[in-house]
Chain A
Amino acid sequence: MSASLKRIIKSGWLGFRRNSGLSLATVFIMVMAISLVTSLFLLQKTSNYLVSSLSEKVDMAVYFGEEPTTDEIDIIQKELKGLPEIKSLQYISKEEALAKFIARHQGEQVIMESLQEVGGNPLLASLNIKAFEATQYANISSFLDSASFKNLISKVDYSEKKPAIDKMFSLTSTISNTGIVLSIILAVVAILIAFNTVRIAIYNSRDEIETMRLVGASNWFIRGPFLVQGMIGGLLAVLITFFAFGIALWFLSPKIDLVIPGLHLSSYFFGSFFMVIVLQLAAGLGLGACASWLAIRKYLKV
């Protein structure tokens, strides 16, 4: 690092400390802005996870009025495998369905008794279909409507989770849209406050600035410290935000894992350390540098 750069940075740090009250107000608002951006980042991850795990759970069951013969099953499977949307097929016979049912409701007196009362096997044979994506079930369903084995089908059941997914999608997009708007507003506020801090710092140092000029300081030797001062604010805000998120996630993650098992938000946060830090640094340094640059351009004319 060149001696001049070192001196500029040092002098920027001194300026930051000298205006500590204002500087800390700037840091505070920047922390808010960076936190919001970071939250959006984590929300994105959470909603992606939720959508994909919901989609994972969606499947389609095709129930048959009467148990199809093995030949019929073969034909049906062959026909369905021709569809590119289909990921997997699983045939469940009447007996298997009953066995599963019993296994699931073991110990539930009422259900077992009523099963007994009905007598025989009231359950239907079915074919479980998994598509690659949740949106593809509609296509598969319309295919089934015109399939050659249509008369065998008693009902098709798939729609249960689609509303949930749609809701999830719209909720996340609402949250992230609001978040983006809020981030922009907060970023503008942060820039204004940082701008004002630097403006005041320049104003307070106007006599010194004049003297520095008279003893031969170059423009950048005078301007640099103010730029650095803004960037230190941004940097400090990044550090605070990063640690606040780190600590919060560390303590909250057991609870989050209870609500959404398998998400592991904290390991994601620390795992994408680099990504997060770069994101935050870009936000923090960007805001700080941008604000001081604007103030310098306006108030520290050559």
Chain B
Amino acid sequence: MISFRNITKVYQAGAKPIVALSNVCFDIQPQEFVSIVGRSGAGKTTLLKLFLAEEKPTAGSIFFEKKDVHQIKSHLLPNFRRDIGVVFQDYKLLPSKTTYENIAYVLEVMGASDVDIKNDVARVLELVGLSNRAQNFPEELSGGERQRAAIARALVHQPKVILADEPTGNLDPYCTKDIIRLLTKINEMGTTVILATHDQYIINSLVRRVITLEEGKVIRDEERGRFTL
């Protein structure tokens, strides 16, 4: 379903180039739950950005359902992105919209009806426990609440793939457990989940496939992996 072929990403920042990813290769099957682990700066976020076509690879290609993601024509890119739900590491909630509106926006861009939007948004708000924050703006939310709002937005349109970039970074252990349980449940219902994290506890409790990155290279890729750096 997803396939990274010899992906290299070099950032040209300032005088010396930074190699964020080098020659990364892996395949992900439909309905897999894959964790990408590694130290901060290992290249996890870059990897997800490349998949979402937010950044272009320096070399190599990424395929989603047999299509080269970076060859998608710009007017078709929105369609591709609607198949994916992303929990951004920095949330990327729209500051001028309420929690409700932020989540509804994903459905609005797809042209969903008002009724569907109302029902679906209420459902995911309930799911992440933010029903009582629906009318608050992101700046009125705590870090954990923002994170849950971001998670709700990634789920609401029932995407084929969910990319979760450190989705528990701001949550207390209880919430972390809930969110991981939620992601597992969504995965069991058929959604492919790619989880980037450096949280040892999560990885060790999941017992799923783990791809370990170190300085932009895949150093391990194992089923039922454990967190070992």
- B19-61 at interface with A (beta carbon < 8 Å): 52, 54
* B5 proximal to A (CB < 8 A): no
User: B114 near A215 (CB under 8 angstroms)?
Assistant: no
B92 to chain A: closest CB distance in Å? 4
Are A302 and B74 in contact, with the CB atoms below 8 A? yes
Residues of A within 8 A of B92 (CB): 207, 211, 214
Q: How far is the CB of B134 from chain A (nearest CB, A)?
A: 18
Q: Is the CB of A215 within 8 A of B106?
A: yes
Query: Does B96 lie within 8 Å of A14, measured CB to CB?
Result: yes
Q: Which residue of A lies closest to B154 (CB)?
A: A215
Task: Report B174-203 residues with CB < 8 Å from chain A CB.
Answer: none
**Nearest chain-A residue to B76 (Cβ)?**
A218
B70 within 8 A of A: no
Task: Write out the residue numbers on chain B whose beta carbons fall within 8 Å of the beta carbon of A216.
Answer: 78-79, 81-82, 106, 109-110
On chain A, the residues within 8 Å of B140 by CB distance are: none
Contact of B75 among A207, A212, A219 (CB under 8 A): A219
A218 touches B78 (CB 8 A): yes
B96 and A212 contact, CB distance less than 8 A: no
A-B contact count (CB 8 A): 57
Complex alpha-carbon distance, A266 and B61, angstroms: 70
Q: How large is the interface on B (under 10, 10 to 19, 20 to 34, 35 or more residues)?
A: 20 to 34
Say whether A4 contacts B96, CB under 8 Å: no
Contact with A along B86-111 (1 / 0, CB 8 A): 10100011111000000001101111
Which of chain A's residues 1-28 have a Cβ closer than 8 Å to chain B?
Answer: 2-4, 7, 14, 18
Interface of chain B residues 103 through 137 with chain A (CB within 8 A)? 105-106, 108-114
A215 touches B105 (CB 8 A): yes
Give 1 or 0 for each of A199-234: 1 = CB within 8 Å of chain B CB: 000000001100111111111010000000000000
CB distance from B31 to the nearest CB of A (A): 22
> Chain B contacts of A302 at CB under 8 A?
74-75
- Other-chain residue from B75, B79, B95, B111 in contact with A4 (beta carbon distance below 8 A): B111
Most chain B CB inside 10 Å of its own CB: which residue of A14, A18, A208: A208
User: Within the assembled complex, what's the spacing in Å between the Cα atoms of A211 and B138?
Assistant: 14
State which of A14, A207, A214 has its C-beta within 8 Å of the C-beta of B86. Answer: A214
Residues of A close to B88: CB separation below 8 A:
214
Residue of B nearest to A215 (CB): B106
Assembly CA distance A7 to B101 (angstroms): 12
- Taking each of A214, A215, A217, A219, which has the highest tally of chain B beta carbons within 10 Å of its own beta carbon? A215
A180 and B86 alpha carbons, distance in the complex (Å): 55
Q: Is B153 an interface residue (CB 8 A)?
A: yes
**How far is the CB of A23 from the nearest CB of chain B, in Å?**
15
Contact partners of B77 in chain A: CB under 8 A: 213
CB-CB < 8 A to B52: which residues of A? Answer: 214
Q: A216-B82, A218-B75, A219-B75 are in contact. Are A208 and B95 (CB under 8 A)?
A: yes
CA distance A2 to B86 in the complex (A): 27
Contact of B78 with A217 in the complex, beta carbons under 8 Å: yes
Quick one: closest B residue to A209, CB to CB?
Answer: B94
User: A3 contacts B81, CB within 8 Å?
Assistant: no
Give, as a whole number of angstroms, the nearest-CB distance from B41 to chain A.
Answer: 22
Complex-state Cα separation, A14 to B105, whole angstroms: 14
Check B108 against A7 for contact (C-beta < 8 Å).
yes
Residue numbers in B under 8 Å from A3 (CB-CB): 108, 111-114
Known: A208-B96, A211-B94. A221 touches B109 (CB 8 A): yes
Q: Are B109 and A217 in contact (CB under 8 A)?
A: yes
Beta-carbon nearest neighbor of B86 in chain A = A214
Please, how many angstroms separate the alpha-carbon atoms of A14 and B137 in the complex? 15
A241 and B77 alpha carbons, distance in the complex (Å): 43
Chain B residues within 8 Å of A218, by CB: 75, 78, 109
Q: Which residues of B contact A14 (CB under 8 A)?
A: 96
CB 8 Å contact bits of A274-302 with B (1 = contact, 0 = none)? 00000000000000000000000000001
- Of the listed residues A3, A214, A302, the one surrounded by the most CB atoms of chain B closer than 10 A to its CB is A214
Query: When chains A and B are docked, how far (Å) is the Cα of A208 from the Cα of B77?
Result: 17
Does A214 contact B109, Cβ atoms closer than 8 Å?
A: no
Given contacts A207-B92, A211-B93, A215-B106, 13 further A-B contacts (CB under 8 A): A3-B112, A4-B108, A212-B109, A213-B78, A214-B81, A215-B81, A215-B105, A215-B153, A216-B79, A216-B81, A217-B78, A217-B105, A218-B109
What are 13 pairs between A and B in contact, CB < 8 Å? A2-B111, A3-B108, A3-B114, A14-B96, A212-B105, A212-B109, A213-B77, A214-B52, A215-B86, A216-B78, A216-B81, A216-B110, A221-B108
